Amino acid sequence: MKFRSLIALFLFLWIPPVLLFGSRDPSGPVYAVQELPFSVPGESLESALRQVSFPIWLPTWLPFTPGTPFAFVVHHPNGVQTIYVDYVDSQNQAFVEIAITNHPVQMISDRYPLEKVTVAGKYEGVFIDNGAAQMLSWNQEGLSIMITASRPHPPYPVSTLLQIATHLKRVK
């Protein structure tokens, strides 16, 4: 699947510089080190869900009809985990990724403007469009949730990502 390579490249180039983990230990900050996603093969959603013990929300609505999702789990230092669940349309033209980390994350960017938004009517979040993908990120119940979406043209507006967020349902 050609989007798997694109997603892996995107994660390698974009996610590590913009995610800053807060401290899990009062003695000092802990920063996540992204494992290289090129070595992480996609697996079934069920298999990935079994690897994490924290709550997971998945979309009940997407702006396209997806094929079978694939997922993978990245193990960061200090027990921090991120599960990535990827949905791709049948023409391999658009994708949506749901990433949930078992630790609050703050999205930062010094290259692209962050737009502050309210997610699901109660969570403070940020939206960013880096030209290749659009991202919506917020913290909820001690977890970080990020929706990343992309399609050729036009880019997804913030309203579409907010709509996906309001249609997330807890599955675990």
The mean pLDDT value for 90-117 works out to 90
- As a whole-number percent, the residues of the chain with pLDDT over 90 amount to 57
Residue 48: its pLDDT value, please? Answer: 92
Q: Which string of DSSP letters, residue by residue, matches 83-142?
A: EEEEEEBTTSS-EEEEEEESS-EEE--SSSPPEEEEETTTEEEEEEE-SS-EEEEEEETT
Q: Mind listing the pLDDT tens digit for each residue in 23-41?
A: 333 333 333 333 334 344 5
Length of the chain: 172
Question: How many independent structural domains does the chain possess?
Answer: 1
Any idea which residue has 């960017």 for tokens? Answer: 109
The contacts of residue 16 (CB under 8 Å, 6+ apart) are 32, 33, 34
CA distance 75 to 143: 15
The mean pLDDT value for 99-116 works out to 88
Q: Is the peptide bond before 154 cis (omega within 30 degrees of 0)?
A: yes
The contacts of residue 5 (CB under 8 Å, 6+ apart) are none
Residue 121: its pLDDT value, please? Answer: 94
Is the pLDDT at 9 greater than 60? The verdict is no
Residue 111: its pLDDT value, please? Answer: 87
Comparing 76 with 161, the larger pLDDT belongs to 161
Q: Which domain holds residue 17?
A: 2-170
Residue 41: its pLDDT value, please? Answer: 59
CATH number of the domain enclosing 166: 3.30.200.100
The contacts of residue 50 (CB under 8 Å, 6+ apart) are none
